[in-house]
Chain A
């Protein structure tokens, strides 16, 4: 029914994301940081729009990394990581707005949140969709449920 993916590919993608975001923060504020953050936002957007298994990073994982690791012991549903990529996209876009409008503090904080999420995903496989949903106030959940169904 739903698309199944190799969970190690998600860890790999989160590692790449972490490296890009660290580079963006290290070079911020400036044109290079904005370029790196835009690149990462584009990767997040690709994962949300086409699926996490159809990003350039996923292609690199399939052609370079997985042949060295062997087949996965189990696969996972692609929906939760896709949701997490959407959260990452929001943070990256807010960060971009911050750096582009000169509100650097906003850029640092939003990019920092995206980095924390990516690092937790890469290290302990944190499932963002499991953490945030029940902490959202009920009326907001009702609103989003209505709009998506």
Chain B
């Protein structure tokens, strides 16, 4: 008889799992002809067979389980996706608006009239009468651009942040 000291629960479990070599299996089989390993192997084998059939009693989730998931998936696919390029565009627009709003009031009132390049061409063309109207137009263009930027920013905030947020909240509450 091979010495029973070599046998352990771990070895018996490996034997049950079929992870042992032929020689090791023979050693185990020999040792398990006698107590205490005979009883221990029986116990562990019984446990093993019970565990093997354990998942047969596993229950299934509710009938509506698939429907719930698929509903959420369709809602997710319908929701507008936040694109990185829109985020960059929104950031650029907001940045322009903020810089414009901060710097515009701090500019001297005559600044636009003193733009050297424009002044130079106006002088060259000798159409001084147009100076004032031109300066008003430039100011108007700057303010108009800022207004358009702000408008676009608001639209983008609505489309890429608020709409997806509320849609997600609606989906979550459905779930």
> Are chains A and B native binding partners rather than an unrelated pairing?
no
Q: Which residues of A contact B (CB under 8 A)?
A: none
